């Protein structure tokens, strides 16, 4: 039996090693937002079940899912690529939220709160990508 060494990618933030992606605030927030989107879309019209509901849910869970998958890849470069994909999903969510507001599926307050949260996730993903680029 051959023993293979494994390198674990750890993201350093503020000089500390993170043990897992689940400990990152961006992962926690994006997971919480995914749960909110699932709850929110339960109240959408039945005709949107296979359209907007499906698209919004997919974009929402794509963020933490890509973070998890990227963190299990072989190196920082691959991880950063998945962070970029997750960031793209925040853009999808921002448009989908605007559309749902304009279709009157959500009110202005819900829109503004969720939009602010996804802006925060987007910025956090940018910071994560920068941290991954700086590490040697």
Asked whether residue 44 carries a pLDDT value surpassing 80, the answer given is yes
The predicted-structure confidence for 60-93, as pLDDT tens digits, reads as follows: 999 999 999 999 998 899 999 999 999 999 999 9
Residue 109 pLDDT: 97
SS3 state of residue 56: helix
pTM of the model: 0.85
| Dihedral in degrees, nearest 10, Cα atoms 104, 37, 98, 82 | -160
Q: How far apart are CA 118 and CA 114, in angstroms?
A: 6
Worst-scoring range by mean pLDDT, 32-36, 118-122, 128-132?
Answer: 128-132
Dump pLDDT digits (tens) for 18-29.
Answer: 558 999 999 999
Pick the CATH number of 20-134 from 1.20.1440.60, 1.10.10.60, 1.10.3720.10, 2.40.160.40: 1.20.1440.60
Centre a 10 Å sphere on the Cβ of residue 134 and count the other Cβ atoms it contains: 9
pLDDT of res. 134: 87
Pair of tokens at residue 108: 């202005």
- Quick one: which of 108, 120, 115 has its CA closest to 37? 115
Tokens 């996804």 correspond to what residue? 118
Pick from 4-8, 40-44, 64-68: least confident: 4-8
């Amino acid at each position: 039996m051959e023993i293979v060494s494994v390198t674990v990618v750890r993201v350093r933030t503020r000089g500390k090693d993170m043990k897992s992606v689940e400990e990152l605030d961006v992962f926690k927030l994006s997971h919480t937002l995914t749960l909110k989107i699932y709850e929110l879309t339960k109240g959408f019209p039945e005709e949107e079940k296979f359209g907007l509901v499906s698209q919004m849910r997919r974009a929402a869970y794509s963020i933490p899912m890509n973070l998890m998958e990227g963190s299990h890849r072989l190196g920082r470069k691959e991880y950063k690529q998945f962070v970029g994909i997750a960031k793209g999903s925040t853009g999808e969510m921002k448009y989908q939220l605007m559309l749902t507001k304009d279709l009157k599926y959500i009110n202005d307050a819900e829109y503004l709160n969720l939009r602010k949260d996804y802006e925060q996730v987007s910025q956090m993903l940018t910071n994560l990508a920068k941290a991954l680029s700086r590490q040697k």
